[in-house]
Amino acid sequence: MKCRRCKAPALIDVRRHNAAFCADCFVHHCQEQVRRAIDAFDMLHPGDRVLMAVSGGKDSLGAWELLVALGYETDGLYLGLGIGDYSDASGRYARDFAAERGLKLVEIDIPAEHGFDIETAAATVRRPPCGACGLSKRHLFNQAALDGGYDVVATGHNLDDEAAVLFGNVLRWDAEYLGRQYPVLPAGPGFVRKVKPLVRLSEREMAAYCVIRRIDYIVEECPMAEGNRHLAYKEALNLLEQKSPGAKANFVFSFLERGHARFAGDAEAERVELTPCAVCGSPTTGEVCAFCRMSERARGRHQADG
């Protein structure tokens, strides 16, 4: 196997592209994929201040490094979820990554700053942990970006993540979610832009990128991920991908090119009629936003339990 770009012995093959690369050219390939995603979806503009949400895992740390390599002014944001040893360890990886490269890491600790943890919040609102976690992340990422004067929040969702979410949305034909599934969500009043620069890179490519670039990341999955439906969707899609390389990318990018626009109206309807939350000021459809309602109840329970 020879590197497609320089003809040196190849180290990794990317079947979807029918190509193999040596270490240096693979790094170039990953940068190219990110650059193409940014261009195609108009994710970032020169001079943007980017806040990269990092979990300590391969995707977000790799994405942070890729954005910096491409010349974007990018600080990291680490959210402490209060998930026991997992949170302690993932925070250490994020901090070490930033310190070793002289990058700035903004940190928010939910238990210390908001008085609850994800498990308690999930129990209070009777949602699966990932629902309570996702709600908290969306709210706090946006808030941190507004507070810090950032133009955009970037997240480490890769091609496999996007394919799994799309698969789930299609299985339910959830028009509103399909309308919102796009690698860039524009800014609006009270919302900064959200982008997913890894949409053209797979989980396997990100793992290889981190090994080649010597990025030390947390390998364990979040203990709450078990039972998460997305894991089953990923397995199903991996099976398809094995039989027909490129199936995942085709599924996602054909949707973005030809399907998404048909659902955009369903997501738009959601955004109208927003007023500031009486507690935190972020745009919401009710009087108090979902995050503030959940955190208030979770705080009460956290204290009662504690």
The answer to the question of residue 289 lying near Zn ion (CB under 5 A) is yes
In this structure, the strands spanning 19-21 and 152-154 are unpaired
224 binds, among Zn ion, ligand Q46, none (CB under 5 to 8 A by kind): ligand Q46
Binding part of the chain for Zn ion, among 76-84, 155-163, 174-182, 290-298 by CB under 5 A, reads 290-298
Binding part of the chain for Zn ion, among 85-93, 103-111, 164-172, 276-284 by CB under 5 A, reads 276-284
CB of 116 to Zn ion, least distance (A): 14
279 binds, among ligand Q46, Zn ion, none (CB under 5 to 8 A by kind): Zn ion
In terms of CB distance, is 33 or 155 closer to ligand Q46? 155
CB 154 within 8 A of CB 196: yes
Question: 81-87 — which CB contacts under 8 Å span 24+ positions?
Answer: 81/110, 81/117, 81/118, 81/133, 81/136, 82/109, 82/110, 82/111, 82/116, 82/117, 82/118, 82/119, 83/117, 83/118, 83/119, 83/222, 83/223, 83/224, 84/223, 86/218, 86/220, 86/222, 86/223
CB of 291 to Zn ion, least distance (A): 5
In terms of CB distance, is 57 or 179 closer to ligand Q46? 57
CB 5 within 8 A of CB 13: no
Q: Report the alpha-carbon distance of residue 146 to residue 167 in Å, rounded.
A: 32
In terms of CB distance, is 79 or 192 closer to ligand Q46? 79
CB of 277 to Zn ion, least distance (A): 3
Binding part of the chain for Zn ion, among 28-36, 181-189, 200-208, 275-283 by CB under 5 A, reads 275-283
CA 211 to each of CA 45, 145, 199, 206, 215: distance values in angstroms, whole numbers, following the listed order: 29, 30, 20, 9, 6
List beta partners, residue 152. Answer: 50, 193
Binding part of the chain for Zn ion, among 71-79, 126-134, 194-202, 279-287 by CB under 5 A, reads 279-287
CB of 134 to ligand Q46, least distance (A): 6
280 binds, among ligand Q46, Zn ion, none (CB under 5 to 8 A by kind): Zn ion
CB of 279 to ligand Q46, least distance (A): 23
The residue from 40, 69, 146, 279 that contacts Zn ion (CB under 5 A) is: 279
The answer to the question of residue 103 lying near Zn ion (CB under 5 A) is no
The answer to the question of residue 280 lying near Zn ion (CB under 5 A) is yes
Q: Which amino acid is at 41?
A: F
In terms of CB distance, is 105 or 153 closer to Zn ion? 153
CB 90 within 8 A of CB 57: yes
CB of 77 to ligand Q46, least distance (A): 14
Q: Report the alpha-carbon distance of residue 41 to residue 172 in Å, rounded.
A: 26
CB of 196 to Zn ion, least distance (A): 25
The answer to the question of residue 144 lying near Zn ion (CB under 5 A) is no
Residues that bind Zn ion (CB under 5 A): 277, 279-280, 289, 292
